[in-house]
Amino acid sequence: MHCITNIVVAGFTANVLLAIGASPAMVENPEESGEFATIASALLVNLGTLSPSIEAAMRQAATAARHAGTPWVLDPVAVGALAHRSRLAAELLGDGPAIVRGNASEIMSLAGHTGAGGRGVDSLASSEQAIEAAVGLARRIGGAVAVSGAVDLVTDGERLLAVPGGDRLMTRVTGVGCALGAVMAACAATAGPLEAAACASALFAAAGERAASATPGPGSFAVGLLDALSALAATP
């Protein structure tokens, strides 16, 4: 599993992937990211923290993934709120991600590049408000779009699945959404985009509920979430 993600969540993302039995490797330099995207089973591109070097690595990896048929996930963190990354995300869409995962504002903004409008930060929109944007974006990329929120929504442009559950503590730990995108990529190595996105969302919702039931605060919850993901992933 090739991950290009941000400095805030890299460790947690790797631990989530290890917990579910995946094998993560972060390769984020342009000299290597294309080569690694070719041999990896799946790729995550998360726009959290950028630099000229990392952006070049993202472009190399996305293009190599397209040529090699490696399924990849785009997580357009904060797109819409900042102009530079909005342009980068629009450009990366051209390499055909299997899945785009974001919150409602990010998905609405990204879809807006083709005329659907939408710009802002998470608190300004609910998942339901992003349905039209998500459906349009899924059709455009020929893959799936996942909108994270109180209820997660997943669509491939034809079907629309709602994944309820989870816990509010999931918004009090950094990287839960980013790690969910990584797990979608891991699932996309062996399943279609809609199934991968929906299964990953359902796994997180179940693990979040299990972890929240036994924890006094966000520190313990992050630890319990890893334990719960590991236990659920090992259940036959």
Q: Which two tokens stand for residue 93?
A: 């869409």
The per-residue DSSP string of 126-181 comes to -GGGGHHHHHHHHHHHTSEEEEESSSEEEE-SS-EEEE----GGGGSSTTHHHHHH
Q: Which region among 12-20, 128-136, 149-157, 192-200 touches a copy of itself (by CB under 8 A)? A: 12-20
Q: Does 81 bind a copy of itself (CB under 8 A)?
A: yes
Q: Is 12 in the site for a copy of itself (CB under 8 A)?
A: yes
Q: Please identify which residue in 45, 46, 51, 74 interacts with a copy of itself, judged by CB under 8 A.
A: 51
- In the stretch 92-131, what mask flags binding to a copy of itself with x, by CB under 8 A? ----------------------------------------
Which residues ranging from 120 to 179 are in contact with a copy of itself (CB under 8 A)?
171-175
Tell me which of 42, 45, 54, 147 binds a copy of itself, using CB under 8 A: 54
Site stretch for a copy of itself (CB under 8 A), options 103-111, 160-168, 198-206, 213-221: 213-221
> In whole angstroms, what is the distance from residue 185 CA to residue 41 CA?
9
The CB-of-223 to a copy of itself minimum distance in angstroms stands at 4
25 bridge partner residues: 2
* Complex with a copy of itself: residue 23 or 190, whichever CB lies closer: 23
Q: How far is the CB of 79 from a copy of itself (least distance, A)?
A: 11
Does 199 bind a copy of itself (CB under 8 A)? Our answer is: no
What is the spatial distance between Cα 107 and Cα 127, in angstroms, rounded to a whole number? 9
Residues 107/145, Cβ–Cβ less than 8 Å: yes
- Per-residue HEC secondary structure of 25-65 comes to EECCCCCCHHHHHHHCCCEEEECCCCCHHHHHHHHHHHHHH
Percent of residues in the chain assigned helix, strand, coil, to nearest 5: 55, 15, 35
Considering only the stretches 21-29, 61-69, 132-140, 158-166, report the one whose residues sit in contact with a copy of itself under the rule CB under 8 A. Answer: 21-29
One residue of 69, 115, 217, 236 binding a copy of itself per CB under 8 A: 217
The residue behind tokens 């690595």 is 57
Among 114, 150, 190, 223, binds a copy of itself (CB under 8 A): 223
Q: How far apart are CA 205 and CA 170, in angstroms?
A: 9
| Distance from C-alpha of 138 to C-alpha of 116, rounded to nearest angstrom | 13
Interface ranges with a copy of itself (CB under 8 A): 6-12, 14-15, 18-19, 24-29, 31-32, 35-36, 39, 48-54, 78, 81-85, 171-175, 216-220, 222-228, 230-231
